[in-house]
Amino acid sequence: MASVKLENVTKKYGQKLAVDNLSFEYEEGEFFSIIGPAGAGKSTILKMIAGIESVTSGKIFFDDYEVNALSARERNVAMAFETYNLYSHLNVYENIAFPLRAPERHEKLSKDEEKRRVEEVADFLGIKKLLGRKPVQLSGGEKQRVSLARAMVRRCECFLLDEPIAHLDARLKFSTQTALKRLSVKLGTAIIYVTHDYREALGLSDRIAVLRKGRFEQIGTPQEIYNKPATDFVANFIGDPPCNLIDGTLADQNGKTLFQSGTEFSIPLQKKSIGSAQKIVDVDQDDEIRLGIRPSRIKVSKERTSEHSFQLPIYAIVRRPEGAVITFELEKCFFRASVKGTEQYGMSEKVWLDFDQEHTFFFKKTVKISK
Amino acid sequence: MSRVDIKNVWKIYEGDVQAVQDLSFFIEDGEFLAVLGPSGCGKSTTLRMIAGLEDITRGEILFDGKVVNELSPSERNLALAFESYALYALLTVHENIAFPMRAKGMSRAEADKKVMWIANILNVTDILKKKPGGLSGGHKQRVNLCRALVRQPNITLLDEPISHMDVRVRANMRARIRRLHDELKLTTIYVTHDQEEAVALADRVAVMNHAKLQQIGTVDEIWNHPANKFVATFVGEPQMNFLQGRMESKAEVSINTKNGKSIFPFDGDVDADFLGSEITVGVRPQQVQLSMTNKTNDAIPGVVDLTQFQGESVIVTVILDDEEKTEVKAVIETDWVPDPGNKVWLKMAPETIHLFDGETPILR
């Protein structure tokens, strides 16, 4: 077991900056996820920690020991990738046991001990029944779990998992996530987990780092990332339906401060919101700021509910098993409210909206929002 | 008018591969119907038979009461959009959308007007001059939809049209597709493997598995009264929990635990024949109630195994103290969430209980 620390790590491929002066430290036994869109540099970070890629500048430490000069083998980390690379001539048991038998690992397990370890991890990942099969007899999802088992069977400094369950169907993904979480709690070994799926990251992690173009936008617990997104990028990346982002300006009217977007959207701001909105205007030197609010924080009703409510027509309604998601159209964007219960609404019906300003964010505009 | 009737339709491929077996259902004029099922269940074959792209081995398909078995796709006046987007690489987006109309002899001016109209609805006006090669998957699918819908067909057939799209784009596209359906009063058949998508968009859902129709009904019917265990597990995320129980009386079911018996009253009737027999109790994770205390015997004790934060909710996995050590998931949306290791009590409200004898529901 080890803690891993990155100090001002940069990676360039030619002129292209893949990882930009990153520093972070993660603690022993932590489940640490790195999430971000394709091309953000997630896999590059893992490969540098594993020693598969060199760092262009900066230092990587395991505990307090600098490992820059160590080879991948010497670093003693286990990796699992999105692609599985199983040995086709070995059966599933032998594939999983393979790293245990590697001479340089000095594991020297007895046959019984090896069997116990393989079966334990196979059981956790729901592939115990497959141990006698050859890879060619497995589905893509099964291969991926075997590949994951082969990494997780080892006892090592840390596990580096790169989209290890990306190819599983939704249902299997969920049960494998559960298994992975359980395994990580049991082993107590640090896991660095790369994914583009925010649900995986929220459900599995102790902390999450949101990566964008080689830089971290925010590092925090799943609750912090979800409830207090640091930037519009983080807000936009996490949640389904996604966090609403509405661009607009502040205006004064009869002593009240309003947030206005186009001609049809205007809400009176509460005191606390005015402060945080004004701060963005001041720092950013841009009149237009971005309001963020999760769909669950917008109340929809047929009657007016407070002095801050306002009316808009419904653009479209899609269902959820015990509720609905209602979409509203503004000039430059859509936004959504998720509602529960049985109240029936119709397309184009004008309804009252109430934004929960305790859970409304204001951001500088850094991502493009499409309509 | 455009009502579709599917009557005892079979599709049998060479070598007696039965892709669709004795399928019967209808789609009413103006309805949004989703055909939902896992891959290989026959849903796309069904769509292709409706479209006329696939011969019907046995049975009849009727449009507005007229058999269309022998009509070619173009004679059926349908719009089709498939997951794989076959756009013409050499034509611009504008030309791609205009092509089917121009091919039918529509004037350039009129076709252009229609292109602008649909491009506006599906938000592709700023890419009309581009060629498909440079477009993202999501854009291609939208262009594909434009091309299908621009002719305002009698029936719109969509096969996983937005499955490749990013979550953020998809949320907008769902709203646009539903809006388009309502505004243009389309009759839409939408094929998908994604239960969330089917629930989101459709008025009614037809669930297929192993080449057969399992159930057709509104979202509420499918959710509250699944026709069998397959439908119960396929719709809903995380999937329905199942517990081993025993029919205690005509209105109560019991589950054996270490401490004795937990009794749960349920809504509805059960055939008297089941009294005293072993049955399966189903309850959706969203409807499971967990509490730290319990005073009566209407709860099952268990220990929290793990919790998974999902933003709006937390999924709690509990290992119950019943005879099978059943693993149960509960979706908790309150501020209170138990920690792993906590002892909790699981309760089920009478209206949330499903009962199965093997695959078959027995509650009436």
Percent of chain A with pLDDT over 90: 61
Q: What is the DSSP string of A13-74?
A: ETTEEEEEEEEEEE-TT-EEEEE-STTSSHHHHHHHHHTSS--SEEEEEETTEE-TTS-HHH
> Cβ distance B4 to B189 under 8 Å?
yes
CB contact under 8 A, B308 and A203: yes
Exposure of B274 in the CB half-sphere (CA atoms within 13 A):
25
> B269 vs chain A: nearest CA distance in angstroms?
24
- Sorted by sequence, the CB contacts under 8 Å of residue A267 that are 6+ apart come out as A258, A259, A308, A310, A355
CB contact under 8 A, A240 and B200: no
Comparing CB atoms, the residue among A170, A185, A347 nearest residue B306 is A185
Residue B87: pLDDT over 60: yes
- Topology (CATH) of A244-363: OB fold (Dihydrolipoamide Acetyltransferase, E2P) (2.40.50)
Percent of chain B with pLDDT over 70: 99
Give the separation between CA B278 and CA B127, rounded to whole angstroms: 61
Give the separation between CA A91 and CA A134, rounded to whole angstroms: 4
Give the pLDDT of residue B91.
93
In A, what residues contact B, Cβ < 8 A? 170-171, 174, 177-178, 181-182, 185, 199, 202-204, 222-223, 226, 236, 238-242, 294, 296, 315-322, 325, 327, 334, 336, 338, 347, 370-371
- Topology (CATH) of A4-237: Rossmann fold (3.40.50)
Residue A1: pLDDT over 60: no
CB contact under 8 A, B200 and A320: yes
> Cβ distance A351 to A345 under 8 Å?
yes
Centroid of chain to Cα B328: 23
For residue B141, the chain A residues in CB contact (below 8 A) are: none
| Overall average pLDDT of the B310-321 stretch | 94
Q: pLDDT of B42-70, one tens digit each?
A: 999 999 999 999 999 999 999 999 999 99
Residue A301: pLDDT over 70: yes
For residue A239, the chain B residues in CB contact (below 8 A) are: 311
CB contact under 8 A, A202 and B236: no
Give the pLDDT of residue A105.
65
Q: pLDDT of A229-247, one tens digit each?
A: 999 999 999 988 889 999 9
Q: pLDDT of A91-124, one tens digit each?
A: 999 999 998 988 766 677 899 999 999 999 999 8
Residue B293: C-alpha distances to residues A37, A256, B123, B322, B337 (Å): 44, 48, 54, 17, 14
Residue A361: C-alpha distances to residues A198, A239, A244, A270, A328 (Å): 20, 15, 10, 12, 19
> B77 vs chain A: nearest CA distance in angstroms?
26
For residue B179, the chain A residues in CB contact (below 8 A) are: 315-316, 327, 347
Q: pLDDT of A319-351, one tens digit each?
A: 998 899 999 999 889 999 999 987 889 999 999
B residues 145-164 lying closer than 8 A (beta carbon) to A: none
Comparing CB atoms, the residue among B201, B237, B311 nearest residue A170 is B237
Give the start-to-end residue ranges of the domains of chain A. 4-237, 244-363
Give the pLDDT of residue A287.
82
Give the separation between CA A34 and CA A163, rounded to whole angstroms: 10
Give the separation between CA A325 and CA A316, rounded to whole angstroms: 9
Q: Are strands B78-81 and B155-159 parallel, antiparallel or unpaired?
A: parallel
What is the strand order of the sheet A298-301 is part of?
A298-301, A350-355, A310-313
Give the pLDDT of residue B222.
96
A318, A348, A358: best to mutate for the B interface, most B CBs within 10 A:
A318
> B49 vs chain A: nearest CA distance in angstroms?
27
Q: Virtual CA dihedral for B78, B79, B82, B86, nearest 10 degrees?
A: 110
pLDDT band for B169, please (50, 70, 90 cuts). Answer: confident
Residue A47: pLDDT over 70: yes
Give the count of beta carbons closer than 10 Å to the beta carbon of residue A68.
Answer: 13
Q: Quick one: closest CA in B to A225, which residue?
A: B311
| Mean pLDDT computed over every residue of chain B | 92
> B251 vs chain A: nearest CA distance in angstroms?
26
> Cβ distance A45 to A195 under 8 Å?
no
> A193 vs chain B: nearest CA distance in angstroms?
15
> Cβ distance B300 to B322 under 8 Å?
yes
CB contact under 8 A, B167 and A240: yes
φ/ψ region of A126 (left if φ > 0, alpha if ψ in -120 to 50, else beta) reads left
Give the pLDDT of residue B270.
93
Q: pLDDT of B241-269, one tens digit each?
A: 999 999 999 999 999 988 788 999 999 99
Give the separation between CA B190 and CA A318, rounded to whole angstroms: 14
Instruction: Compute and round to an integer the Cα radius of gyration of chain B.
Output: 25
Whole-complex ipTM: 0.90
Q: Quick one: closest CA in A to B224, which residue?
A: A321
φ/ψ region of A269 (left if φ > 0, alpha if ψ in -120 to 50, else beta) reads beta
Residue with tokens 């090896």: A114
Residue B148: pLDDT over 90: no
| Overall average pLDDT of the B6-20 stretch | 95
Q: Quick one: closest CA in B to A38, which residue?
A: B166
Residue A210: pLDDT over 90: yes
Which of B167, B170, B118 has its CA nearest to residue B147? B118
Give the separation between CA A288 and CA A278, rounded to whole angstroms: 11
> A70 vs chain B: nearest CA distance in angstroms?
36
CATH superfamily, domain at B241-361: Nucleic acid-binding proteins (2.40.50.140)
CB contact under 8 A, A319 and B171: no
> B311 vs chain A: nearest CA distance in angstroms?
6
Q: Quick one: closest CA in A to B305, which residue?
A: A182
| Overall average pLDDT of the B318-335 stretch | 92
- Sorted by sequence, the CB contacts under 8 Å of residue B270 that are 6+ apart come out as B247, B250, B355, B362, B363, B364
CB contact under 8 A, A316 and B182: yes
Instruction: Compute and round to an integer the Cα radius of gyration of chain A.
Output: 25
Give the pLDDT of residue B1.
61
Q: pLDDT of A240-299, one tens digit each?
A: 888 999 999 999 988 899 999 988 899 999 988 999 998 888 887 778 999 999 999 999
> Cβ distance A142 to A127 under 8 Å?
yes
For residue A182, the chain B residues in CB contact (below 8 A) are: 305-306
Residue B82: pLDDT over 80: no
Residue A30: C-alpha distances to residues A189, A211, A226 (Å): 7, 18, 19
Comparing CB atoms, the residue among A177, A182, A318 nearest residue B174 is A318
Residue A87: pLDDT over 80: yes
> A79 vs chain B: nearest CA distance in angstroms?
23
Common-topology check for domains A4-237 and A244-363: no
Residue with tokens 């979480």: A181
CATH superfamily, domain at B4-234: P-loop containing nucleotide triphosphate hydrolases (3.40.50.300)
Q: Positive or negative, the Cα torsion across B227, B232, B236, B242?
A: positive
Give the pLDDT of residue B42.
96
Give the pLDDT of residue B83.
61
Give the pLDDT of residue A61.
94
Residues of chain B with CATH 2.40.50.140: 241-361
For residue B182, the chain A residues in CB contact (below 8 A) are: 316, 347
Give the separation between CA B186 and CA B178, rounded to whole angstroms: 10
Comparing CB atoms, the residue among B239, B305, B311 nearest residue A202 is B311
Residues of chain B with CATH 3.40.50.300: 4-234
Q: Quick one: closest CA in A to B222, which residue?
A: A321
Q: Quick one: closest CA in A to B201, which residue?
A: A318
B residues 268-287 lying closer than 8 A (beta carbon) to A: 286
Residue A169: pLDDT over 80: no
> A253 vs chain B: nearest CA distance in angstroms?
33
